[in-house]
């Protein structure tokens, strides 16, 4: 098991109904149980979310095109003190892959700084497009986290967690291998943050691993579909009641794949601590309280990379 990819479907959840993001409505309650069920089985699901109009999605992809067309020396200016938050590319292990990040994308000055770094004359269209996309999509992210918290009886903690969240927006490009073979775009991994929401152009390649080790090739059901995945820091908060999904990108053909990832993560200084409600005889405490930024740094050390689970190696009991 594990080496074969078989096309299959992830659950598709509809967040487009007007009441679906209104806490307490019958749509909310019904979606909440679908979210819980999907995450228990897959650690992720496909969300249909029409609050981001198709014009905005088109503008986002145009903006991404503009970024990737810049000369390498401009893209290399996208630096961050945090690992994997700035430019990543030109790696022998994943030669098809290149990506850039806007950290704290909900802060207008950060988007402006990114735009001014890439285009010294400024780029107001880029700024407006990205701010609007991130703002709308972060609503979906918050809705999902609230639903999960409610479904585990953790609602009293969630506002504080939401208020101490940052968002990283990453643009990724995967060139087609231009060979008859399928080649690695991005190596298998689980994300370390809280929740990840991915969106892509029409070129497929994302694969998600199921509990039995086989791979689902993600095929978006609609142009406004998004993959919502829970990541390791969030599963730690839940004392491992849900698991993060291992995923990878496999590329074939000659068309480039573009994807956007919105990654929520705890602000520096905030502590992830398993709530007492998640611990009982059947579910002993698995993780010590930890700082996300320290976990992320550990993950990129030799020991973190070698560990079968960086999370357990870092803060497992």
Q: Least distance in Å: CB of 176 to ligand AKG?
A: 14
Q: Least distance in Å: CB of 198 to ligand AKG?
A: 5
Nearest residue (CB) to Fe ion, 117 versus 300 = 300
Is residue 43 a contact partner of residue 242, using CB atoms and an 8 Å limit?
A: yes
Which of 191, 204, 207, 240 binds ligand AKG (CB under 6 A)? It is 191
Which of 98, 131, 191, 204 binds Fe ion (CB under 5 A)? It is 191
Q: Least distance in Å: CB of 167 to ligand AKG?
A: 14
**Applying CB under 5 A, what is the total number of residues that bind Fe ion?**
1
CA distances from 277 to 238, 243, 251, 253, 286 (A): 9, 18, 43, 49, 13
> Look-up: residue for tokens 């939401």?
162
Which of 129, 143, 161, 259 binds ligand AKG (CB under 6 A)? It is 259
Q: Does 141 bind Fe ion (CB under 5 A)?
A: no
Cβ atoms within 10 Å of 58's Cβ, excluding its own: 12
Q: Which helix (H) or strand (E) holds 96?
A: none
Q: Least distance in Å: CB of 263 to Fe ion?
A: 8
The Cα angle at residue 107 between residues 191 and 222, in degrees rounded to 5: 55
CA distances from 172 to 17, 43, 63, 102, 249 (A): 30, 22, 12, 12, 11
Nearest residue (CB) to ligand AKG, 140 versus 286 = 140
Is residue 261 a contact partner of residue 97, using CB atoms and an 8 Å limit?
A: no
Strands 44-48 and 12-14: parallel
Nearest residue (CB) to ligand AKG, 150 versus 191 = 191
Which one of ligand AKG, Fe ion, none is in contact with 102 (Cβ closer than 5 to 8 A by kind)?
A: none
User: Cα separation of 245 and 272, whole Å?
Assistant: 20
Is residue 134 a contact partner of residue 105, using CB atoms and an 8 Å limit?
A: yes
Residues near 240 by beta carbon (within 8 Å), at least 6 away in sequence = 283, 286, 287
Per CB under 6 A, the segment of 113-121, 176-184, 198-206, 287-295 that binds ligand AKG is: 198-206
Q: Does 286 bind ligand AKG (CB under 6 A)?
A: no
Q: Least distance in Å: CB of 89 to Fe ion?
A: 16
Q: Least distance in Å: CB of 201 to Fe ion?
A: 17
Q: Does 249 bind ligand AKG (CB under 6 A)?
A: yes
**Interaction site with Fe ion (CB under 5 A):** 191
**Interaction site with ligand AKG (CB under 6 A):** 170, 172, 186, 191, 198, 200, 206, 247, 249, 259, 261
């Amino acid at each position: 098991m594990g080496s074969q990819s078989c096309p299959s479907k992830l659950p598709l959840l509809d967040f487009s109904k007007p009441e679906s993001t209104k806490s307490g409505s019958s749509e909310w309650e019904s979606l909440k149980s679908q979210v819980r069920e999907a995450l228990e089985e897959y650690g992720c699901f496909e969300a249909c979310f029409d609050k981001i109009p198709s014009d905005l999605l088109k503008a986002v992809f145009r903006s991404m095109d503009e970024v990737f067309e810049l000369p390498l020396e401009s893209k290399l200016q996208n630096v961050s003190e945090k690992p994997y938050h700035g430019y990543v590319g030109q790696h022998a292990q994943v030669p098809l892959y290149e990506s850039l990040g806007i950290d704290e994308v909900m802060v207008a000055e950060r988007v402006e700084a990114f735009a001014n770094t890439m285009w010294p004359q400024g780029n107001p269209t880029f700024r407006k497009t990205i701010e609007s996309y991130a703002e709308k999509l972060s609503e979906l992210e918050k809705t999902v986290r609230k639903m999960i918290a409610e479904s585990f009886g953790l609602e009293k903690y969630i506002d504080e967690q939401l208020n101490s969240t940052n968002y990283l927006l990453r643009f990724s490009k995967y060139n087609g291998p231009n060979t008859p073979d399928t080649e690695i775009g991005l190596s298998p991994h689980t994300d370390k943050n809280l929740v990840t929401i991915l969106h892509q152009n029409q070129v497929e390649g994302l694969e998600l691993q199921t509990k039995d080790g086989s791979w689902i090739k993600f095929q978006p059901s609609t142009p406004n579909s998004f993959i919502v995945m829970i990541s390791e820091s969030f599963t730690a908060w839940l004392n491992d009641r849900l698991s993060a999904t291992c995923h990878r990108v496999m590329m074939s053909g000659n068309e480039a794949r573009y994807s956007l990832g919105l990654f929520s993560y705890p602000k520096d200084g905030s502590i992830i601590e398993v709530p007492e409600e998640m611990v009982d005889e059947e579910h002993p405490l698995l993780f010590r309280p930890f700082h996300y930024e320290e976990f992320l740094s550990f993950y990129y050390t030799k020991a973190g990379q070698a560990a079968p689970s960086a999370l357990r190696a870092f803060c497992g009991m």
